[in-house]
Amino acid sequence: MAQLWGGRFTKETDKLVYNFNASISFDQKFFRQDIEGSMAHVKMLAKQSILSENEKNQILLGLESILIDVENGKLTITDEYEDIHSFVEANLIDRVGDVGKKLHTGRSRNDQVALDMKLYTRHEIIEIKGLLKNLLDSILKIMEQNIDTYMPGFTHLQKAQPITLAHHMGAYFEMFKRDRQRLEDIYNRMNYCPLGSGALAGTTYPLDRDYTAQLLDFNGPTLNSMDSVADRDYIIELLSALSTIMMHLSRFSEEIILWNSNEYHFVEIDDAYSTGSSIMPQKKNPDIAELVRGKTGRVYGALMSILTTMKGIPLAYNKDMQEDKELTFDAIDTVKGCVTLFTGMLSTLKFNKDIMKTSAMKGFTNATDAADYLVNHGVPFRDAHGIIGKLVLYCIEKDKALDELSLDELKSINPVFEQDIFEAISLETCVNKRITIGAPGPDAMKEVIQIYKEYLHF
Ligand code: ARG
């Protein structure tokens, strides 16, 4: 049991207490960031003449060697230490002797852990942004190839109006684009350095907090030492953004599961991304999409958990906050896994374009356009709505689509119909006439695709 404290204690910590309190099993995840933060701290201490140049160099060499040895597996992080901070400090003292004991000058584990967690999440935000970019790239590719791929658009899961696959994919492009922007916002808001805040009240050493912040690539130091050690807002914001990413992935998964069903048959999931059944030989299951949908709950759970943990904590640091780590790490790893797998599944998905088109032609997705035709010929919209409603009923009886009726049949319901109705309600016209920005018409779509390309290559 290696601890950084004990002077004022007369008894050993109970083993169960020690284990309950220890965080090494999970905070070893940011050993790199812990060492990186210590290096910046030591450089600043030397700049302020709190450590000599020689002491600084010895400590830096020691820290560097620990980093290398952990990375190449020569040094293992074991649970004989309470946390990653104790592990690094104890190993430093082992390697460089008494000078290593000066590392913690003007620092507390409270501002240290606040820094480590910020450095770690900041790095992961960049990683996740990169993975989202890959996802957006593959969505954009599908869009570019499917400007003319017709499919039904749904409301209430009922066929509503015809759209294109490019248009449908574009909706997800917007969602994941916002997700990336959210991550950028969080990064900018959190990017202030808490180191130098001490346990809660700063220190009496003449630290140069601007310099430390600069060394670690922060926008500046945090401005209140109590808040610095007690703030976990950025974790809550991050988990909220991750939950939103999962919500989007889950909706997309749900659609792929539906589209992959025997009934829809809009898509075919690649063999590499589906699984079989142990009993039913015919099955090819969309397990990846289902797992992504399922894991969404787990990420929401992390958000709820940290919100609840934080709600009753008085200022400043309290040990409750150690609970931020496991759930944040798990949520980050879950999201990274899901985005990666989902991108692979999406980019290998096969679209059954003919089936999608046929589906768009059935189900009266052109009924609104038929009503608009009547409006263009002087019929008030409410009347037109009623006339087309009757037509639909007639078609259901005859098991026909609107454009499969003869002109005579149409005229028997309303004399306003002329030969040009067929052109007006063809699938192509229904889509191509929707030309305002944001609509599925090909010109509008091309314009949007161009904007997306610039966004991704910026
Ligand atoms: N393991 C602790 C955490 O994750 C580090 C800070 C410890 N500070 C303290 N006063 N015990 O929050």
Average pLDDT, the chain: 96
From atom 10 of ligand 1, which residue's Cα is the shortest distance away?
A: 110
Q: What is the mean pLDDT of residues 264-270?
A: 96
Q: How far is the CA of 422 from the centre of ligand 1 (A)?
A: 73
Q: Is 86 in the pocket of ligand 1 (CB under 6 A)?
A: no
- Predicted pLDDT at 1: 63
Tell me: pLDDT of 3 over 90: no
Residue 198 phi, psi dihedral angles, 5° rounding: 65, -150
Q: How far is the CA of 63 from the centre of ligand 1 (A)?
A: 21
| Residues marked as catalytic | 156, 277
Instruction: Give the model's confidence band at 2: pLDDT under 50 very low, under 70 low, under 90 confident, else very high.
Output: low
Higher pLDDT, 33 or 14: 33
3-state SS, residue 155:
strand
What does the pLDDT look like over 158-169, one tens digit per residue? 999 999 999 999
Q: What is the C-alpha to C-alpha distance for residues 65 and 53, in angstroms, rounded to an integer?
A: 18
From atom 3 of ligand 1, which residue's Cα is the shortest distance away?
A: 322
Q: What is the mean pLDDT of residues 320-345?
A: 98
- Predicted pLDDT at 10: 80
CB 120 within 8 A of CB 30: yes
Question: CA angle, corner 88, sides to 85 and 91, nearest 5?
Answer: 140
Q: Is 23 in the pocket of ligand 1 (CB under 6 A)?
A: yes
CB 143 within 8 A of CB 445: yes
Count of beta carbons in the 10 Å neighbourhood of residue 180: 22
Q: How far is the CA of 417 from the centre of ligand 1 (A)?
A: 77
CB 412 within 8 A of CB 427: no
- Predicted pLDDT at 416: 93
Q: Is 110 in the pocket of ligand 1 (CB under 6 A)?
A: yes
Q: How far is the CA of 6 from the centre of ligand 1 (A)?
A: 15
Tell me: pLDDT of 64 over 90: yes
What does the pLDDT look like over 349-360, one tens digit per residue? 999 999 999 999
To test the ligand 1 pocket, which listed residue (322, 323, 327) has its Cβ within 8 A of the most ligand atoms? 322
To test the ligand 1 pocket, which listed residue (115, 229, 313, 319) has its Cβ within 8 A of the most ligand atoms? 319
Tell me: pLDDT of 19 over 90: yes
CB 187 within 8 A of CB 99: no
- Predicted pLDDT at 283: 74
